[in-house]
Amino acid sequence: MMKRVRSWFRPDASDSTPLYLQLARQLGEAIRDGRCQPHEALPSERLLSETLGLSRVTTRKAIDQLVTQGLVVRRQGSGNYIAPHLEQPLSHLTGFSEELRNRGYKPGSRWLSRAVTAATRDEERLLGLAPGARVARLKRLRLADGVVMAYEEAVLPVTVLPDPAALDGSLYEHLAAIRKAPARAVQRLRAVNVPARMARQLGLAPGHAVLAITRVAHLASGKAVEVTYSYCRSDYYEFVAEMRRKP
């Protein structure tokens, strides 16, 4: 990879931008353009500095920038690696695990809680439940190849999921197995500033912008079966929609 990095980095003496920012920008462009593959190891800071004729401080600050942007992941005692990046089409209804497997990543979850709780008024409305209804509430961090990508809270009627603690893997695979798989869903996306507690869980600074998604999924009969709130790291996630002009 070092040979490629040499070809990518061209310091501009006429540019007043510090060298570490020039290096971070040019490496970042190479990562975004797909010239690096997810999980590919970056050269060490020492090798970068010696080969590019830069100080160790400059290369370290450049990599710090890429880590902050979510383009590079530091692994203790191992090195720096290109972070996974998920481009998700908005036209397909898939679960998190299925989408990651389709793109060659290993999905994972870190459970925060699985419990039966009271539904909020909004959840009663969205799920068509009676006042005071109970719901299964699943809170977890969603991972791709061990990297935290999103915070997710899924809410389902207890008639669909009476024992949330029994769920261990993919929610959509479980729903398919009990013939309750959603046939369609409506998603709403917005940008929000992440609160401090969630920021720590996502590995972000408090107030960092994330993509907040509310999904309401329905069975083929039209009955709502799931409400999911997801908070996705915008540096790892990209949502794509194809649009066509009316003739």
**154 shares its domain with 41:** no
Q: What pLDDT is stored for residue 242 in this prediction?
A: 67
pLDDT bin (cut points 50, 70, 90) of residue 140 is: very high
Q: Which domain holds residue 47?
A: 2-82
Strand partners, 87: 238
Q: What is the pTM of this model?
A: 0.65
**93 shares its domain with 74:** no
**190 shares its domain with 95:** yes
Q: Please determine, for residue 196, whether its predicted confidence score (pLDDT) is greater than 80.
A: yes
Q: What is the pLDDT of residues 29-42, one digit of tens each?
A: 887 777 877 778 88
- 3 state SS of 102: helix
In terms of Cβ atoms closer than 10 Å to its own Cβ (0-12, 13-18, 19+), residue 189 is middle
Mean pLDDT of 172-184: 90
Tell which of 82, 112, 129 closes a domain: 82
Mean pLDDT of 209-213: 89
Q: In total, how many domains does the chain have?
A: 2
**164 shares its domain with 95:** yes
Q: What is the pLDDT of residues 91-119, one digit of tens each?
A: 567 777 777 676 667 888 899 999 999 99
In angstroms, the Cα distances linking 176 to 52, 70, 179, 209, 210 are 53, 34, 5, 34, 30
What one-character DSSP code corresponds to residue 182?
-
CATH code of residue 36: 1.10.10.10
**46 shares its domain with 147:** no
**47 shares its domain with 127:** no
Whether 115 maps to a domain, the answer reads yes
CA separation for the pair 65, 70 (Å, rounded):
9
Q: What is the pLDDT of residues 67-88, one digit of tens each?
A: 877 778 887 778 888 877 665 5
The residue among 89 and 61 whose pLDDT is bigger is: 61
Whether 135 maps to a domain, the answer reads yes
**The most confident of 11-25, 60-74, 138-152, by mean pLDDT:** 138-152
